[in-house]
Amino acid sequence: MKRNDGRKPEDLRPLEITAGVLQNATGSAMVRMGRTIAVAGVFGPREMFPRRLQEFGRACLKCRYLMAPFSTDERARPGPSRRSKEISMVVRNALEPAIFLEDYPKAAIDVYIDIIQADSGTRTAGINAASVALADAGVPMRGLVAAVAVGKINGKYVVDLAGKEEDESDCDLPVAYLPRDGKISLLQFDGSLPKKDVKELVKLATKACEEIHKLQQEALMKRWMK
């Protein structure tokens, strides 16, 4: 099976990861997955304000995901939307298991993700960028988080849905994975498939996440091993 962009079912889109792209952030990264581009900036750990929101035994991870108005063919409305707030929460849930939040009680770690160009897979691109940005900031982590969306089109399991594939697929299944620990930190499912298909898709996603993880590591090594 050849896909619209010429990829085989198990192929990722062309993937580019760069660490340290923002001068004024504690840590930052840019991820380009095909035509989707995400930029993440991390600030902190720093003292949490207002203090009434401090968590005694751990840091508070705050994530903000936004799509730039020029990121899609139709101009996106500036500012947070219901969807962006939901994805912000999803990103936080995907990243929290990887971070030693208990090392910074009463502190805040702020993660900002901006999608500057969108062609599907924006949340997974955002998670990939945020994970590298956290490591670039020196935040203690159990391991990097890699993410990808998988689906089923015309009876074939496919990796890294792009463009119209989200509409053509029987499901959209984003997965975030910690290859170092072999643990899944995010599993969403939009669609209807038998349990057997879901299990096979998750296997495919974790394998793809291992490929992404290698490129995340390479980006950090290129940044810090000069």
Check pLDDT > 70 for residue 77: no
Check pLDDT > 90 for residue 159: yes
- Is this model's pTM higher than 0.85 or not? yes
Residue 81 lies in a domain: yes
- Is 135 strand, coil or helix? helix
Average pLDDT over residues 207-226: 95
Among 25-29, 44-48, 77-81, the range with the most confident prediction by mean pLDDT is 25-29
Q: What is the distance between the alpha carbons of residues 178 and 142, in angstroms, rounded to a whole number?
A: 8
Residue 6 lies in a domain: no
Residue 158 lies in a domain: yes
Share of the chain above pLDDT 90, in %: 79
Q: What pLDDT is stored for residue 48 in this prediction?
A: 80
Specify the amino acid at residue 47. E
CA pseudo-torsion sign 76, 149, 82, 190: positive
| Residue range(s) defining the domain that contains residue 58 | 15-224
Average pLDDT over residues 84-110: 96
193 phi/psi in degrees, rounded to 5:
-145, 155
Residue 70 lies in a domain: yes
Q: What pLDDT is stored for residue 79 in this prediction?
A: 64
Confidence band of 226 (pLDDT split at 50, 70, 90): low
Residue 46 lies in a domain: yes
Give the Å distances, CA to CA, from 57 to 46, 80, 100, 109, 143: 15, 30, 11, 14, 21
Q: What pLDDT is stored for residue 27 in this prediction?
A: 98
Residue 2 lies in a domain: no
User: What's the CATH number where 153 sits?
Assistant: 3.30.230.70
Residue 199 lies in a domain: yes
Please tell me the total count of domains within the chain. Answer: 1
Check pLDDT > 90 for residue 56: no
Residue 79 lies in a domain: yes
